[in-house]
Amino acid sequence: MLKQIHSVKNPQVKQWKKLLTKKERDLTGTYIIEGFHLVEEALKQEELVLELIVSESVDLPPRWDYGSIPFVSITEEVAKAISETEAPQGVFAICRQESMSAESAKTFLLIDAVQDPGNLGTMIRTADAAGIDAVIVGNGSVDIYNSKVLRSAQGSHFHLPIIRGELTEWVNQLNQRGIPVYGTALENGVVYTEAAPAEAFALVVGNEGSGVSSEILTKTKSNLFIPILGKSESLNVAVATGILLYFLKQS
């Protein structure tokens, strides 16, 4: 039987709104996504979507296969209440957070304390596009399930492992596996074209203002920088990440 919710005061609506906070996402092991593209990508993953939420004014594409997933019809008022976009599309899903492994990965993007959700989402999407095997998001970074991160990544969360972890430990593990780890820094750095593209590597990129932590930079094979040819002081971290990943992945 189709469940219908008409009031923003409904306890279920209040619970959905709580999922807009990291605390509730961590507590429940779930998160909320919105928009046709994200929901369609999530539905392609087996047992990822726990609940489908659709505004009563919305017609779902006939190609969507949501089988036995619980389906809730809501009003446009409720859709606006649980959305963080200015113009909600009226399509949402509750998804479970997955436990992901990077045991077989050979190429990695490590992200150190990147705080802008648009940057983090774009970097995840870029790693996906470049064919990187896994993304490791370190402490101090914005939550990977933040709604803006999810929208910026455009479904890449469902395509490759994205793991929250302690970057120092990961760098140590990668060094032990013989995988070259490249940092990003101007000081004591080399132009990125001096690095050798390889089948296995890890790239560490850092905070928008302070870059990669000094502790991690002492553990890398070498630290790379991209020359600034014009008058700009620096490159956006997500743009720089794209340039470096595609160069290192050439092989």
DSSP codes, 87-128: S--SEEEEEEPP----TT--EEEEEES---HHHHHHHHHHHH
Q: What is the pTM of this model?
A: 0.96
**Residue 62: its pLDDT value, please?**
93
> CATH homologous superfamily for 107-248?
SPOUT methyltransferase, trefoil knot domain (3.40.1280.10)
CATH code of the region 3-96: 3.30.1330.30
Rounded Cα–Cα distance for residues 48 and 131 (Å): 22
Mean pLDDT in runs of 10 for the chain (251 residues)?
88 98 98 98 96 96 92 96 95 96 96 98 98 97 98 97 97 97 95 96 96 97 97 96 95 60
CATH 3.40.1280.10 domain locations along the chain? 107-248
Q: If we measure between CA atoms, which residue out of 89, 178, 98, 100 comes closest to residue 133?
A: 100
**Residue 250: its pLDDT value, please?**
76
Rounded Cα–Cα distance for residues 151 and 197 (Å): 30
CATH 3.30.1330.30 domain locations along the chain? 3-96
